[in-house]
Amino acid sequence: MTQSGPVGFIGLGVMGGAMARRLIGAGYEVHIHARNPDRAAPVLALGAHWAGDIAALARTCRTIFTIVGGPDDVAALYLGEAGLIANAAPGTVLVDMTTSTPDLARRIASEAASRGVSALDAPVTGGAPGAEVGTLTFMVGGDTGALDAVRPMLWTMGATIFAMGPAGSGQITKASNQVAVAGILMGLAEALHHAETAGIAPEKVLEVLMTGTAGGPLMQRLGPKMVAGDSTASFAIDHFIKDLGIALDTAPLPGAALCRDLYRDLAAEGGGAKGIQALIEHYRRS
């Protein structure tokens, strides 16, 4: 059975703001809350309703989406007397799209179930461009019935939905995705630097790479920025360090650990707000 009624949305950053706008554009009645009220203005201008606090939003909406900074923010939203779980009515479906930890996702699902509430962990990949045009990929952990109830809303924000298994499975999948991204970025940065030091134009090497086996969407999107030295962020280094840390807490991953350390060095030098393509800076100055 598909969820109906007002839809709650918490977290209006680059990703969340775009996703909330898509729900409004599809005709949903969207109630919003954000830690920084200034971020709410563009969404309110489109017809969203402001909720003064988390508890008020939970009492109003039977479907609530969240996408915030990290596990600590997720725990603060969901747990405790003022949180979403304690104030949601039975039958509510809570969908956390934050990149968080599997253990926290499992805890939230368990506590929600004890109150007749469903909780899904549904992190996304596709970045800010995907959020704007509705081509995100959702990796969902949790009850398939709850997932089916919110599929129409997810289709409004994304193009691909994977049911990965029980609670926490979405977060494990997202961590795996970020480990793969780390490997691709390291390989691309090293390849371009190798070409540069040999006197070959990196833009020509990139053109070759993108037409061959190594090519892919990430290379197509970030490769030209690496070549140009454009560090403008659509996904910041600080966030990627957090994501790799989540993965490394679950398993020994030597490649991801090396990549995380390289990014930590860049962040320590003041580059945490740069885009993840700025990894090439490490190689160019070495």
What residues act catalytically?
Answer: 174
Cα(77)–Cα(54) distance, rounded to whole angstroms? 7
Residue 262 C-alpha from the chain's centroid: 21
User: Distance between alpha carbon 206 and the CA centroid of its chain, in Å?
Assistant: 27
The string of DSSP codes covering the chain is ----S-EEEE--SHHHHHHHHHHHHTT--EEEE-SSGGGGHHHHTTT-EE-SSHHHHHHH-SEEEE--SSHHHHHHHHSSTTSHHHHSPTT-EEEE-S---HHHHHHHHHHHHTTT-EEEE--EESHHHHHHHT-EEEEEES-HHHHHHHHHHHHHHEEEEEEEESTTHHHHHHHHHHHHHHHHHHHHHHHHHHHHHTT--HHHHHHHHHHSTT--HHHHHHHHHHHHT----SSBHHHHHHHHHHHHTTS--HHHHHHHHHHHHHIIIIITTSBGGGGHHHHHT-
Distance of CA 236 to the CA centre of its chain: 12
Q: Is 31 left (phi over 0), alpha (psi -120 to 50) or beta?
A: beta
